[in-house]
Copies of this chain bind each other. A is one copy, B any other.
Amino acid sequence: MEYKISGGLASLKPSIIREILKNTGGSVIPFAAGNPAPDAFPVDDVREILGELMENNPVLALQYGVTEGYAPLIAELEKMCRDRYNVLSDSDSVIVTSGAQQVMSLLSHTLLNPGDTVICEEPAFIGALNCFRAFGAKLVGVPLEADGMNIEALENAFKSEPNAKFLYTIPNFQNPAGSTTSFEKRKAIYALAKKYGIIILEDNPYGETRVAGEDIPAIKTMDDCGLVVYSGSFSKIVAPGIRVGFVCANKELIAKMTVVKQTQDVHTPLTSQYIVYKWLHDYDYEAHIAKIRDIYRRKLNLMCDLIDEELGDYVEYVRPQGGLFVWCKLDDRFDMLTFVRKASEAGVSIVPGSAFLCDESKSTQYVRLNFSTPTDEGIVKGVKILGEVARNYR
């Protein structure tokens, strides 16, 4: 039978990144992945929490819950949004989502008609781009600089796209670029979005992984008119396998997103929600974050120091202050896709930067390297191999 696929899906091609990862065997050093370091997971805490849950409250874990989320978890998230991030206003509310990925899907479904525009940083997270594409959105990229989007280009995009429904941004340690948007630019972005009436989806999955520098207030802290949808995740704080995120936004938008969530998965599994609730409520958040930051600081600096040593003559990059990725620009002697292929043949998987463009067919000299998934030994070995690939190129 010949299937008639919907407009959004028909045009969605399998991404380069999936093809690369498909061919990544067990012996390959995984610089292409984006998994948190397993030693950053609070394994003992989760074991204890699940044991306690199944001992004292198994029916809570197993029965249907409400779509908005487990009420005690929502209370913890509201406290966190208010006290820690200052992103919760009186006209906002919070719901639990099945990872921060679901926030993109819920907001897209709530706002996008086919052909509407989503303004994105360029490069941008591929999972977000594909989500917007699936809703038939036109993607318009705004060049990302070391301190955030080019503000002039952002205003041009807002001006020239009357059907722009929202702007998607990761202000902290962006995936893939690793960049952090400066406070000045955050203010400029908010002011422009307000001027043009464009919603901002502020995605902050990496905020707690800062290993250098000072925290910068979220764009949502400036929101005085329900313009900013703030999305958070526990994938890098607790663990990604449990799939727990949240969204803090104006109540009217949250009500619509809740209806969409009900049509997608009814609610996020109670076991997952209870893990995060109990962990936030009873365990030492600060101590765990400090531990995670130590792990990522070590791995980030290990990789960057080695890049300086092995690839200093061949690539440019800005050392990120957090996140999981280093975004390297190969110099012009290299054909980027050929370099990626040679690296793969030599046993190191990396992601071609084109995967993160609104138009994947455009050319770029960038590649993305991940330092959280490989072991320390893997990082050392992998960057050395990349150095050899560069030295032996052509």
- B61, B197, B242: the one within 8 Å of A241 (CB): B61
Is the pair A54, B63 in contact by a Cβ cutoff of 8 Å?
A: no
- Please choose the segment from A7-15, A169-177, A210-218, A379-387 that sits at the chain B interface, where 4 or more of its residues have CB less than 8 A away: A7-15
Is the pair A241, B64 in contact by a Cβ cutoff of 8 Å?
A: yes
Q: How far is the CA of A58 from the CA of B40 in the complex (A)?
A: 12
Q: How far is the CA of A259 from the CA of B6 in the complex (A)?
A: 13
Q: How far is the CA of A65 from the CA of B3 in the complex (A)?
A: 28
Q: A239 — nearest CB in chain B belongs to which residue?
A: B62
Is the pair B271, A242 in contact by a Cβ cutoff of 8 Å?
A: yes
Give residues of chain A (101-153) contacting chain B, Cβ–Cβ below 8 Å.
101-102, 104-105, 109-114, 127, 130-131, 134
Q: Is A83 interfacial (CB 8 A cutoff)?
A: no
Q: Is A362 interfacial (CB 8 A cutoff)?
A: no
A contacts with B, residue count (CB < 8 A): 76
Is the pair B243, A4 in contact by a Cβ cutoff of 8 Å?
A: no
| Number of identical monomers bound together in the oligomeric complex | 2
| A321-358 to B contact mask, C-beta < 8 Å, 1/0 | 00000000000000000000000000000000000000
Q: Is A75 interfacial (CB 8 A cutoff)?
A: no
| A42-68 to B contact mask, C-beta < 8 Å, 1/0 | 010011001100110011111111000
Q: Which residues of B contact A12 (CB under 8 A)?
A: 259
Q: How far is the CA of A131 from the CA of B260 in the complex (A)?
A: 8
| A227-265 to B contact mask, C-beta < 8 Å, 1/0 | 100000001001111110000001011001001101111
Is the pair B62, A6 in contact by a Cβ cutoff of 8 Å?
A: no
Known contacts A102-B265, A265-B243; A35/B54 CB under 8 A: no
- B58, B242, B265: the one within 8 Å of A98 (CB): B265
The 5 closest A-B CB pairs, nearest first, are A62-B239, A131-B263, A98-B265, A47-B54, A241-B270
What is A's interface to B at a CB cutoff of 8 Å? 1, 3-9, 12, 14, 34-36, 38, 41, 43, 46-47, 50-51, 54-55, 58-65, 98-99, 101-102, 104-105, 109-114, 127, 130-131, 134, 165, 197, 199, 225-227, 235, 238-243, 250, 252-253, 256, 259-260, 262-272
Instruction: Sample 28 A-B pairs with CB under 8 A, ordered by A number.
Output: A1-B197, A1-B250, A3-B199, A3-B256, A4-B165, A5-B256, A6-B110, A6-B112, A38-B59, A38-B63, A41-B62, A41-B63, A46-B58, A62-B242, A101-B262, A101-B264, A102-B264, A105-B264, A127-B262, A127-B266, A130-B262, A130-B263, A134-B259, A134-B260, A241-B269, A241-B270, A271-B271, A271-B272
